Amino acid sequence: MLINRRTIRIEWGDCDPAGIVFYPQYFKWFDAAAAALVAAAGFPRADLVGKQGIVIPMVETRCRFLIPSRFDDELTLETTVTRFGRSSFDLQHRVLKDEVLAVECSETRVWSKLDHTGPERLKSQPIPEAVIRALSQDGQ
């Protein structure tokens, strides 16, 4: 499967009063990593939303925090797809600190089309074969 890697440098504002990364920050990074993975496969978020009305909301998540990260730490975030369904897919995020697993997260996202018949409504859509092929490629 395609793996997207990002380097994150922990900023002062990412930390809570205890001096460790405030946990919601990870979910911000995971969302950006999911978009980056899909973009690396050739489907940038701006095109999906702007041209096709496609969004990929997270509908389920589970996260384990194994070791804390602090201001000025450098982390590597790896994201890949672990399962495809008809309209949903699972992602795995692994956060490495000095090559040691610090955080792992799994999430399920749904390939959805904006439905303008009602306010803020979405309808799941089958994931296009081209998207599945692109995300299934080896590499990176």
**Which candidate in 16, 47, 72, 98 is catalytic?**
16
Per the annotation, the verdict on 73 as an active-site residue is: no
Distance of CA 52 to the CA centre of its chain: 20
Q: Which residues share a beta bridge with 140? A: none
Q: Two tokens at 86?
A: 């008809």
Q: Two tokens at 111?
A: 């390939």
Cα pseudo-dihedral 29, 81, 123, 129, rounded to 10: 140
Q: Two tokens at 93?
A: 């995020």
Q: Which residues are catalytic?
A: 16
